[in-house]
Amino acid sequence: MMLSMLTTMPIRDSDDTVDLAPTDDGLGYAASITRRGSDGSVRWTANPPKVEPQDAWTAVRLEGPRVIANSWSGYLVQLALETGDEIARTFTK
Q: Is 25 within the bounds of a domain?
A: yes
Structural domain span for residue 87: 8-91
User: What is the total count of domains within the chain?
Assistant: 1
* Best CA proximity match to 61, nearest among 9, 22, 12, 25: 9
Q: Is 3 within the bounds of a domain?
A: no
pLDDT, residue 2, reads 46
29: domain CATH number is: 2.40.10.480
Q: Is 1 within the bounds of a domain?
A: no
Of the pLDDT bands very low, low, confident and very high (cuts 50, 70, 90), residue 6 is low
How much is the pTM?
0.90
Neighbours of 75 (CB within 10 A): 19
